[in-house]
Structure 1
Amino acid sequence: MLQKSSMRKSYPSAYRRILMADVGSAAPDFTLNGAVNQEDTEVSLSDYSGKNLVVLFYPLAFSPVCAEQVPDFNENLDAIRAKGADVIAINRDSTFAHKAWSQELGGVDFPLLADMNLEVSKQFGMALEEVGITTRGVFIVDKAGHIAFKHVENAPPDNTLSAAQVLGELDKLQ
């Protein structure tokens, strides 16, 4: 039988999927620092208790696909909030990088959170430790703090979830 450490080395992607937070399970609680536009912020999952929350994981600021996906969610933020939900985004970039990227994008009105050691990404099963980044994915945490929906992108960005698709998933929670 393989030990966890040898399984992790031999099959890192499979091991990550085993540890992934699953639909129906309690979302891992966390607290991270980050930025909303140019303002520092500290966010905990518990800050959104009683509210649906879209948790967007993305690999890197200043990358082409992320520079399409994050603005898409920002442009649809009012519609998401109208459905009783909010949005946060998590990756391994620093708060400084988030501020610079937000400025380049013309502002992002939801928290971009710095998971520099990938601890939160690991709790959700979203860390690609072998390359030191977060994989792309979307989780919806419901009002009770359970994962109601997840979409994890394991391939090239041909199946990146749009804000419109997330709005459809939020409709199912109403």
Structure 2
Amino acid sequence: MSDPNGLIQPGRSAPGFTLAGTPDGHQVGPEQFRGRPVVLAFYPADWSPVCGDQMSLYQAAKPILDQYQAVVLGLSVDNIWSHRAFAESRGIEFPLLADFEPKGEVARRYGAYTPGGEAARALVVIDPAGTVAWSHLSPPEINPGADGIIDALDRLANDRKVTVG
């Protein structure tokens, strides 16, 4: 379920999935992290300058994201071997998931697949219960940064304080 422009909208249940996260076939998906916020960072391709900068930024922001107990999962239609080399070259330690076969299936479910056959540059924050809390679609040539993610995580943290405390 997505809006007419495509990208899944807040308030929707996040579609479940698991994708290869390592060459040995280890599967990773947001359900493994229930109870914690999950950031899905869809990106067009390994090795492009904007994608490299974007994923490196999220690695650099890890100490801030850790304060929210958030997990980042990068997703593109590249294969797991490309992801592995890309992650090693950029020092990326969070999982880069291969939405490779069938190509773009998860990106399609989130409304983050382009007619050109790549994942769109899209961000989705899933709350600890599995509901989309925030989503953002960026032009392919623009690095969306981390401010929107951090704002969404802030709102989630504040909501939990109100409901828990």
Structure with higher Rg: it is 1
Cα deviation code 1:81-128 (max 9, x no counterpart): 1112110010000000001111221x2111000001110000000111
TM-score by length of 1: 0.81
**Structure with the bigger percentage of strand:** 1
Give the whole-Å Cα distance in 2 for the aligned partners of 1:55 and 1:156. 16
Contact 1:19–1:123 (8 Å) recurs in 2: no
Q: Residue 110 of structure 1 corresponds to which residue in structure 2?
A: 94
Residue 17 of structure 2, aligned match among 30, 35, 42: 30
Give the whole-Å Cα distance in 1 for the aligned partners of 2:105 and 2:3. 13
2:108 alignment partner AA: K
Give 5+ residue unaligned stretches, structure 1. 1-14
Give the whole-Å Cα distance in 1 for the aligned partners of 2:78 and 2:140. 21
Identity %: 29
Residue 72 of structure 2, aligned match among 67, 71, 87: 87
Q: Secondary structure at the match of 2:11?
A: coil
1:169 alignment partner AA: A
1:85 alignment partner AA: A
Give 5+ residue unaligned stretches, structure 2. 158-165
- Figure out how many residues of one structure are paired with residues of the other and give that number: 154
RMSD of aligned alpha carbons? 2.0
Question: Aligned pair 1:166/2:153, yes or no?
Answer: no
Q: CA deviation at 1:19?
A: 5.2
